[in-house]
Each structure stands twice: as C-alpha cells, then as structure tokens.
Structure 1
Amino acid sequence: MGDPGELDQALLNPTRLSIVSLLAATRWAEFGYVRDSVGLTDSALSKQVSALDKLGYVESDKGYIGKRPRTWLNLTSAGREALTGHIRALQLIASAAGERGAGYHAQDAEHRPGRRAGAEER
C-alpha cells in the first residue's frame, strides 16, 4: 500500500474486504468460520485467500483437531496496514463528498427535482 490516503486495489473487491475485515477482529480464525461468516464456498474462499496470501495480507496454518484436518487464517501486519489505509481512504472520500454536499446550495429553487420551471409554491 502506497500513500496512506490511497485505496488498496485488492480491497476494492467486497469479498476480500469482508475477509480481511473479519480477520482484523480475530486471531487465527478457523477456515470454516471465515467461510460461513463471509458466505462463500470452500473453493471460493480458497481462491480469495490465495490472492490475499500472494499479497502478504493473510497467512494460513494447517493442523488437526483430533483426526480432523483444519486450516486457520490470520491477518498479517501488512494486511492490517493495508486495511487501515484502505478504510482511511474511504473515510476521506466520504468526508470530502459530505463537505462538498453540505456546502452546495441550489442557486435557484426552481431546479429541484419534480418541479417545473416557473411553478409557484402553494
């Protein structure tokens, strides 16, 4: 992630944003929990986790609970930094748009939607 006010292209994908946001609130979440929480299939989550892993945003660890294999996922410090910067950029965009919108006043009330030009108020 470059500039702290820059959107992270990988996190523009809502699924990847959901995964890293969930992982930001946990530590070593079980794959099935993430899958169910984000509402994906195993293969869809695996694909997204692979993409995030290549970026260094997510790490995984495999192990067993009894005889059942399990995979756990964790957000790396790079992933946490990317998410923080991405959220900051979104907040800046929303704030700037809100300020511009609050400062906008129609020059002429005649231009309100649903009004015909020259129509009188009743």
Structure 2
Amino acid sequence: MPHPRTRLDDNFASPIRFSILASLGEGIELDFVTLREILQCGDSPLSKSISHLQSAGYVLARKAALGTRQRTWVRSTREGREAFAGHLDALREIVALGGAAPP
C-alpha cells in the first residue's frame, strides 16, 4: 500500500493556499479584504494564491460592485472541498503512522 504522502495535493503546498481552502467551507463566500484579514497576508500573495486555486478548479472568484468599489468574492468548489478533504485525510494518516510501532 502506498504511503499516504502520495495522496497529498501539491496545490495545498503553500500555507496561504491551504488556509484559503480551510476558510472556505461549503456555502461560505468571502470577499478579498475579509479573506486577507483572516489569513493575515498581503494582497499580492493572496491574489496569486486565489489565481492558482482558480486554475486548479478549487475556487471560483467573481467580481461585483459594492457601492462605487469593485470587490472580489471567493468561494470553494465541490472539487476544491473534496481535494482539501482528501489532503487532510492523507495528513491525518501520516501523523497516525508516525505514532505507530514499526512492524
């Protein structure tokens, strides 16, 4: 049986990309400013991370006017949530293997 690390998704290798999906559960849509504040990161790294996840099909970003200002809203896709859940399962299995006695 292959080691669970082979199921880790490289799209979550960046702490910001990992944190974006962790913040966007099913039915949650956050605007860019709120997401930036939650993740405590700069505009450029957040923007690049959203673009990466959007290219992977893991998030959808839409622009909408809020008053006179344009805002970007981000939400996860089903594919993104499933990929993130699989990544978390693999991490849990890796941790469990670390505490297991050798055969």
Q: TM-score range by the shorter chain?
A: 0.7 to 0.9
Q: CA deviation at 1:26?
A: 5.7
CA distance in 1 between partners of 2:65 and 2:14 (Å): 31
Give % identity. 37
2:73 match: secondary structure? strand
Which structure's relative contact order is higher, taking Cα pairs within 8 Å and 6+ residues apart?
2
Give secondary structure in 1 for the equivalent of 2:100.
helix
Give, in angstroms, the shift of residue 37 of structure 1: 0.9
- Relative to the length of structure 2, the TM-score reads 0.87
- Counterpart of 1:24 in 2: which secondary structure? coil
**Structure 2: how far apart are the matches of 1:12 and 1:29?**
22
For 1:29 and 1:42, locate their aligned partners in 2 and report how far apart those are by CA, in whole Å: 15
How far does residue 74 in structure 1 lie from its aligned partner after superposition?
Answer: 0.3
Name 1:108's counterpart in structure 2: none
Deviation (angstroms), 1:68: 1.6
Greater fraction of residues in helix: 2
1:16-35 map, 5 Å: 16-24=17-25, 27-35=28-36
Segments ≥4 residues shifted beyond 4 Å: none
Unmatched runs of 5 consecutive residues or more in structure 2: none
| Gaps in structure 1 of 5+ consecutive residues | 104-122
**What secondary structure, in the 3-state scheme, does the structure 2 residue paired with 1:34 have?**
helix
**1:30 is aligned with what amino acid?**
D
CA change 1:79–1:88 in 2 (3 A) is same
String of CA shifts for 1:10-54, please: whole Å, max 9, x gaps.
Answer: 112211101110112661111101111111111111111111111
RMSD: 2.0
When normalised by structure 1's length, the TM-score is 0.74
Change (3 A) 1:73 1:25: same
Map Cα deviations across residues 74-98 of structure 1 (whole Å, 9 max, x no partner). 0111110110000000000111111
SS in 1 for 2:41: coil
**1:42 partner amino acid:** D
